[in-house]
């Protein structure tokens, strides 16, 4: 598992109306490589509102259609739930996610 990987997850959040959703791993690699049981992830939605905290992704990243990573809706997910690998982001997209995370978390 690497930062920037996309996984299909079953019911990561009890409040999510969808039974499955794709999530992007955004935790730092150092944490991912430890025995810590969870990682921080950002959900992927098919709707894109054009906010600076959303990053457009799609077929190039292994998805079936255009979507967006929502960096304002972070969730801690157990590593054991991240088993259905979908794809990974390019370096360019990871840079865009980094920028969106800085905006979402008000980090200058």
Q: Which domains does the chain have, with CATH numbers?
A: 5-104 (2.30.30.110)
Of the two residues 2 and 50, the one the predictor is more confident about is 2
* Widest Cα–Cα separation across the chain: 36
Summarize pLDDT for 68-96 with one digit per residue, the tens: 999 999 999 999 999 999 999 999 999 99
**How many of the other CB atoms lie within 10 Å of CB of 10?**
11
pLDDT class for 54, splitting at 50, 70, 90?
very high
C-alpha 57/C-alpha 46 separation (Å) is 9
Nearest to 39 by CA among 88, 90, 84, 5: 5
The confidence score (pLDDT) of residue 13 equals 74
User: Cα dist. 19→5, 15, 39, 66 in Å?
Assistant: 20, 10, 20, 20
Q: Which residues, 6 or more positions from 38, have their beta carbon under 8 angstroms from its beta carbon? A: 76, 77, 78, 79
Q: What is the band of 57 on the pLDDT scale with cuts at 50, 70, 90?
A: very high
Q: Above pLDDT 90, what percent of the chain?
A: 86
């Amino acid at each position: 598992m690497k930062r920037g990987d996309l996984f299909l997850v079953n019911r990561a959040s009890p409040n999510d109306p969808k039974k499955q959703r794709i999530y992007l791993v955004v935790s730092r690699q150092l944490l991912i490589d430890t025995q810590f049981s969870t990682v921080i992830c950002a959900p992927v939605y098919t709707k894109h509102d054009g906010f600076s905290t959303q990053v457009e992704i799609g077929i190039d990243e292994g998805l079936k259609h255009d979507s967006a990573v929502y960096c304002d809706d972070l969730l801690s997910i157990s590593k054991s739930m991240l088993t259905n690998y979908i794809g990974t982001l390019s370096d360019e997209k990871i840079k865009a996610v980094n920028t969106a995370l800085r905006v979402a978390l008000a980090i200058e």
